[in-house]
Amino acid sequence: MKTLIEKPDLTLYLGGTRSGKSARAEAEALQSGGPVLYVATAEARPDDDAMTERIRRHRARRPASWRTLECPLGLADRIAAELAAFAAPPQAGSPETGLAGAAPDHAVPAQAEASPGAATASDGRLFSGSGSPRGEAVFGTGLPGATAASFAREGAPGGIGNAGGGFRSASGPGGDPEGTPGDAGATPTILLDCVTLWVSNILFSLPDPEDLRAFEAAVRAEVEALLDLIGRSGRRWVLVSGETGLGGIEPTRLGRNYHDGLGLANQLIAARAREVFLVVAGRLLRLEA
C-alpha cells in the first residue's frame, strides 16, 4: 500500500538571467520525441523593439513542429482547451496542421491579433501604464540556439533534426525517423516558459499591484489551478522560472511584492514537481526535496 502520493510528471527549471534554463528545458522537451505544446506567457509590445527582437530569436530557435500558445493569464483554462485539440480527430483539407489539427509553431496562434509574437516569458519586463517599463530588471533568457541544439543532439533522439513540418514521434535511435505527423495517439509534452513573467502579468492585472495580500491570493489561485490540471492531465510538463531572490532586498514596495509572489509560485510548483533543477552558467544542480 502506497503511503506517498505519486507526483505528476513535472520538471521545474529555475535560474537567473541568461543562466541557460530555457535551453535546458527545450532540450528536455526535444528528448520526448513527440509533439510539444509551447506555452509562452510573454507578449510583444509595439513600443518595445528589444522585446520584439528577443521574440524573433526565440521563435527561430524552436522547432517548427512545436505548437505555440500565447497565454499571459488564465493558463489552466487555456491550456486545457488546447490539450483537448490533441485528442480531436484531424481536420480534412488543412495542410498547415500537425497532430489532430494543431498548428505548428510557424502558424499564427489564437491571440495573434492582439500580440504580434510570443517569446519565452523569461524574456519579459515589468510594464507600467502606457507601456513604459515599471522597472529596470529584465528576466533571463536561455542560452543561444546553437547551445540548445547542442544539448538536444547529446540527449534527444535525433536531436533538433527531429523538428519537421508536422508533429513527429520517435522511439529512439532505432525508431521510425520520419515519424507520423498525424499520429493522434502521441502524448504531447507541455513546455511553459516562463513562470517569471506569468507572475508579473498577474501582478499588473490587479486593481492595486501594491496590495500584497490580494497579489499572493491571485498567484496562489492561478498556480493551484494549473497544478490541478497538471495532476489530472497524465501529460509530461516542463516549467521554467526565474530565481530572483538571491540578491538584495528590492528598494520599492512593488519590487518586494513581486519577489514575494514569484517566490510563492516557485515553492508551490516545486512542492509538486518530481524534479527541480537550478541552472547556473548552463550547468544543472538537482535540488532535493
pLDDT digits (tens, 9 = 90+) for 72-90: 999 999 999 999 877 665 5
Residue with cell 498548428: 103
Task: Specify the pairing of strand 283-286 against strand 67-70.
Answer: unpaired
DSSP, res 224: H
Q: Label residue 2 by pLDDT band (50, 70, 90).
A: very low
Sign, Cα dihedral of 116, 118, 123, 125:
positive
Task: Specify the pairing of strand 67-70 against strand 125-127.
Answer: unpaired
Distance separating alpha carbons of residues 176 and 257, to the nearest angstrom: 50
For residue 198, tell me if it sits in a domain. Answer: yes
Among 126, 153, 119, 140, smallest CA distance to 43 is for 119
For residue 135, tell me if it sits in a domain. Answer: yes
For residue 5, tell me if it sits in a domain. Answer: no
Residue 287 reports pLDDT greater than 50: yes
Task: Specify the pairing of strand 283-286 against strand 275-280.
Answer: antiparallel
For residue 2, tell me if it sits in a domain. Answer: no
Q: What average pLDDT does this structure show over 217-227?
A: 98
pLDDT (0 to 100) of residue 277: 97
Residue 10: strand pairing partners: 237
Q: What's the predicted TM-score (pTM) here? A: 0.70
Enter the C-alpha cell of residue 204. Answer: 499588473
For residue 24, tell me if it sits in a domain. Answer: yes
For residue 200, tell me if it sits in a domain. Answer: yes
Counting the structural domains of the chain, the total is 1
The CATH number of whichever domain residue 245 belongs to comes to 3.40.50.300
pLDDT (0 to 100) of residue 250: 87
For residue 1, tell me if it sits in a domain. Answer: no
pLDDT digits (tens, 9 = 90+) for 117-126: 334 433 333 4
Across 32-36, 60-64, 78-82, the highest mean pLDDT is recorded for 78-82
Q: What average pLDDT does this structure show over 139-164?
A: 32
For residue 193, tell me if it sits in a domain. Answer: yes
Domain that holds residue 19: 10-87+96-286
